[in-house]
């Protein structure tokens, strides 16, 4: 909480600095209607949103009394990359721009919210210089690391209409004429020409950003393969079409690896046979070879992908079922192929084939290590791979 309170104070200072800068933008000479003013408005909104998010999280931490006990096996963390962000515009608005009916420039930027306090922002894009076809393009790439698999990311679209002040109609006094004026006339002339007004609250007033929220979309792991989303809360007369496009890539950080000899049960001509294999568990796939050196130079004799595992957990096989000690079991499922028949390890259940895999370790400690590693890898795969089978 102490670190969050310091961050709140820092964001408060940013709000004060941005407000002070905006209070100085009272005419064209001092940045009124410029891109600098818009960047200050954007900075003010980002700092305000971060401060509110931090305050809400501090309040939630103070009111949180009892934490839920963690599960036995926690899935690994993952990374998410969001790129190729596009904001399609309405056809009517594009036609109005072509016919010069819309003199104002619409400026947009995106806020990416991840978790209680993590907020990222895109660059400022304009309908005058960031259009590609019928869409507003954001060249930003957001990389979110150390995410849990149940993440919920919100992308918000903010907009403001800015009419750039033309410098043609701004009065520039003639230096020669100014030199010919007496001090009294010079003071009178300066009062006549300075018709600007400062902020009603004074130069130290805290302002509210001119940017307004015009659309939002929530993204979770199930949306990773989607590239088009529907924005919520889009105003009726907004230039944007109500859709949002981007490319999302997810990658989990499972570093579970296990290597060693396992004795694998197989069906040979209707009879059970045990084969000793060198096995390696890498990123949720169990590979097996005849010898350890084969791992570097040869294709694996067998691959068991844990995405096809239907066992709730990998457990030790009871001695009443298998006399070989330190044996554990997992079951996998795949579509039925022509020529598949029931045998000691496979079972035809109609459209799918269920395979029983018995694996025996050499010692009790190795069995425990293998079961822990495979259960962790199984949890990682099921948490992050939406195509992984469930029990």
Distances (CA, A) of 58 to 55, 61, 106, 156, 351: 5, 5, 35, 23, 53
* Mean pLDDT, range 311-329, rounded to an integer: 94
Model confidence over 97-131: pLDDT tens digits? 777 655 567 899 999 999 888 999 999 998 888 78
Distances (CA, A) of 39 to 22, 33, 296, 381: 10, 11, 55, 43
User: What span, in angstroms and rounded, lies between the C-alpha atoms of 337 and 328?
Assistant: 27
Report pLDDT for 147.
Answer: 93
Report pLDDT for 267.
Answer: 87
Model confidence over 140-172: pLDDT tens digits? 999 999 999 999 999 999 999 875 544 434 443
Report pLDDT for 178.
Answer: 39
Length of the chain: 391
CA 104 to chain centre: 32
Is pLDDT above 90 for 95?
no
User: What span, in angstroms and rounded, lies between the C-alpha atoms of 29 and 48?
Assistant: 27
Taking each helix axis from N to C terminus, what angle separates 2-23 and 35-63, rounded to the nearest 10 degrees? 160
* Angle, CA of 288, 314 and 371, to the nearest 5°: 65
Per-residue confidence at 358, pLDDT binned at 50, 70, 90? very high
Model confidence over 215-270: pLDDT tens digits? 999 999 999 989 999 999 898 888 889 899 999 999 987 889 999 999 999 988 88
**Residue 119: which of 42, 65, 214 has the closest Cα?**
42
Same fold, 74-167+178-252 and 257-384: no
Q: In the chain, where do the E strands start and end?
A: 78-88, 105-114, 118-121, 125-126, 131-132, 135-138, 142-147, 153-162, 212-219, 228-230, 243-252, 257-268, 271-282, 285-289, 302-305, 315-316, 327-335, 346-348, 352-360
Give the three-class secondary structure for 208: coil
Domain extent listing, the chain:
74-167+178-252, 257-384
Q: Are 88 and 239 in contact (CB under 8 A)?
A: no
Is pLDDT above 60 for 377?
yes
Give the three-class secondary structure for 224: coil
Model confidence over 22-67: pLDDT tens digits? 877 655 555 566 788 888 889 999 999 999 999 998 988 888 765 5
Report pLDDT for 199.
Answer: 44
Report pLDDT for 173.
Answer: 45
Placement of tokens 């000690």 in the chain: 325
Placement of tokens 């400022």 in the chain: 124
Is pLDDT above 50 for 177?
no
User: What is the architecture of the domain spanning 74-167+178-252?
Assistant: Sandwich (2.60)
Report pLDDT for 92.
Answer: 86
Model confidence over 178-210: pLDDT tens digits? 344 454 544 444 443 333 334 444 455 678 888
* Angle, CA of 332, 311 and 346, to the nearest 5°: 35
* Angle, CA of 112, 249 and 280, to the nearest 5°: 135
Is pLDDT above 60 for 81?
yes
Report pLDDT for 68.
Answer: 58
**Residue 204: which of 9, 6, 7, 18 has the closest Cα?**
18
Distances (CA, A) of 86 to 49, 240, 271: 23, 11, 60
User: What span, in angstroms and rounded, lies between the C-alpha atoms of 181 and 349?
Assistant: 102
Report pLDDT for 363.
Answer: 96
Q: Which two tokens stand for residue 162?
A: 């800015």
Q: Are β-strands 228-230 and 243-252 bridged in parallel, bridged antiparallel, or unpaired?
A: antiparallel
Report pLDDT for 192.
Answer: 35
User: What span, in angstroms and rounded, lies between the C-alpha atoms of 284 and 138?
Assistant: 35
pTM score, whole prediction: 0.79
Report pLDDT for 195.
Answer: 35
* Mean pLDDT, range 327-339, rounded to an integer: 91
Of the two residues 361 and 180, the one the predictor is more confident about is: 361
Report pLDDT for 144.
Answer: 94
Placement of tokens 């004026």 in the chain: 181
Ramachandran angles phi, psi of 217, nearest 5°: -145, 140
Identify the CATH number of the domain defined by range 257-384: 2.30.29.30
């Amino acid at each position: 909480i102490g670190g969050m309170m310091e961050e709140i104070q820092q964001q408060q200072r940013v709000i004060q600095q941005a407000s002070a800068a905006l209070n100085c933008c009272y005419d064209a000479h001092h940045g009124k209607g410029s891109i600098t003013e818009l960047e200050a408005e954007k900075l003010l909104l980002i700092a305000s949103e971060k401060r509110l998010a931090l305050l809400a999280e501090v309040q939630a931490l103070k009111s949180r009394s009892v934490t839920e006990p963690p599960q036995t096996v926690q899935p690994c963390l993952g990374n998410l990359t969001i790129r190729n962000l596009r904001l399609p515009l309405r056809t009517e608005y594009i036609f109005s721009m072509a016919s010069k009916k819309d003199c104002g420039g619409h400026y947009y930027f995106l806020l990416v919210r991840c978790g209680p306090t993590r907020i990222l922002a895109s660059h400022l894009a304009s309908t005058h210089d960031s259009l590609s076809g019928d869409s507003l393009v954001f060249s930003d790439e957001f990389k979110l690391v150390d995410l849990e698999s149940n993440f919920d990311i919100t992308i918000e679209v903010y907009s403001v209409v800015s009419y750039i002040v033309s410098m043609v109609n701004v009065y520039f006094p003639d230096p020669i004429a100014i030199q010919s004026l007496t001090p009294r006339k010079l003071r009178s002339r300066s009062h006549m020409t300075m018709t600007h007004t400062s902020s009603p609250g004074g130069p130290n007033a805290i302002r509210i950003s001119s940017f307004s929220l015009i659309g939002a979309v929530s993204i979770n792991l199930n949306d990773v393969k989607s590239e088009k989303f529907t924005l919520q809360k889009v105003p009726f007369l907004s230039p944007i079409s109500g859709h949002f496009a981007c490319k999302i890539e997810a990658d989990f950080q499972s570093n579970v690896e296990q290597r060693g000899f396992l004795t694998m049960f197989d069906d040979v001509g209707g009879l059970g046979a045990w084969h000793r294999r060198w096995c390696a568990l890498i990123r949720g796939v169990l590979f097996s070879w005849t010898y350890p050196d084969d791992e570097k130079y040869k294709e694996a004799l067998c691959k068991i992908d844990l995405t096809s595992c239907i066992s709730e957990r990998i457990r030790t096989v009871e001695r009443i079922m298998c006399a070989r000690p330190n044996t554990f079991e997992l079951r996998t499922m795949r579509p039925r192929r022509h020529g598949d028949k029931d045998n000691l390890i496979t079972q035809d259940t109609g459209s799918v084939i269920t395979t029983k895999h018995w694996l025996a370790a050499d010692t009790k400690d190795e069995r425990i290590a293998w079961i822990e590693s495979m259960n962790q890898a199984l949890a990682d795969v099921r948490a992050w791979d939406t195509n992984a089978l469930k029990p």
